[in-house]
């Protein structure tokens, strides 16, 4: 009985945060996805200790383990866009592949450079 109620409370808490986020995006002066704001809220509530991790943990773990499944119905909607995709197929594939490589390289090099900079700053700090 307690187990069942525990999951119910977790659903209640997480949905309440989503509900707050839904309300908050309507107040923002620019368009912003409610789900992403809810993600930021969950992070901040945990960070400030208002929300305890154990109050949402089981549900959040379940969602992250089954995340890919939740996109299945959405992806089937691709049927409606077959023509548009066929017309732009080469561009979509080419851009997706090339920018994946460039993002990989640029991120990696930036991190390497920043770590070298950090070491240099730390060394200077130690000496003077």
Partner 1 sequence: MVEMLSSPVFGISISIAAYAVGVWMNKRLKTPLANPLLISLILLVTFFVVTGIPLEYYNEGGDMISFLIFPATASIGMSIYDNFGLLKRNLLPVLGGCFVGALSSVGSIWLLAKLFCMDNTILASLLPKSVTTAIALPLSEQNGGIPQITMVAVVIAGTMGAVLGPTLAKLFRLADNKVATGLAIGCSSHAAGTSTAVQMGEAEGAMSGLAIGICGLFTVLLSLFFKYLF
* Residues in region 41-80 near partner 1 by CB under 8 A: 41-47, 53, 56-57, 59-60, 63-64, 66-80
Least CB distance from residue 3 to partner 1, whole Å? 19
Q: Which of 40, 52, 120, 123 binds partner 1 (CB under 8 A)?
A: 40
Task: Count other C-beta atoms under 10 Å from residue 60's C-beta.
Answer: 15
Contact 50, 29 (CB under 8 A): no
- How far the first Cα of the chain sits from its last, in Å, is 64
Binding mask 74-113 for partner 1 (x = CB under 8 A): xxxxxxxx--xx--x--xxxxxxxxxxxxxxxxxxxxxx-
Least CB distance from residue 73 to partner 1, whole Å? 3
CA dihedral 57, 62, 64, 67 (to 10 degrees): -150
Query: What are the structure tokens assigned to 119, written together?
Result: 């070491």
How many Å apart are CA 16 and CA 1, to the nearest integer?
A: 23
Compute how many residues bind partner 1; rule: CB under 8 A.
Answer: 75
Q: Which of 7, 9, 52, 117 binds partner 1 (CB under 8 A)?
A: 117
């Amino acid at each position: 009985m307690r187990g069942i109620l525990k999951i119910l409370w977790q659903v209640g808490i997480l949905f309440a945060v989503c509900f707050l986020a839904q309300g908050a995006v309507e107040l923002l002066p620019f368009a912003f996805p409610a789900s992403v704001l809810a993600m930021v809220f969950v992070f901040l509530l945990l960070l400030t200790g208002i929300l305890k991790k154990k109050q949402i943990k089981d549900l959040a773990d379940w969602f992250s383990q089954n995340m890919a499944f939740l996109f299945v119905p959405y992806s089937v909607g691709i049927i409606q866009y077959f023509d548009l995709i066929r017309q732009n197929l080469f561009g979509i594939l080419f851009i997706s592949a090339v920018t994946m490589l460039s993002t990989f390289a640029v991120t990696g090099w930036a991190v390497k450079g920043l770590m070298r900079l950090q070491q240099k700053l730390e060394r200077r700090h130690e000496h003077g």
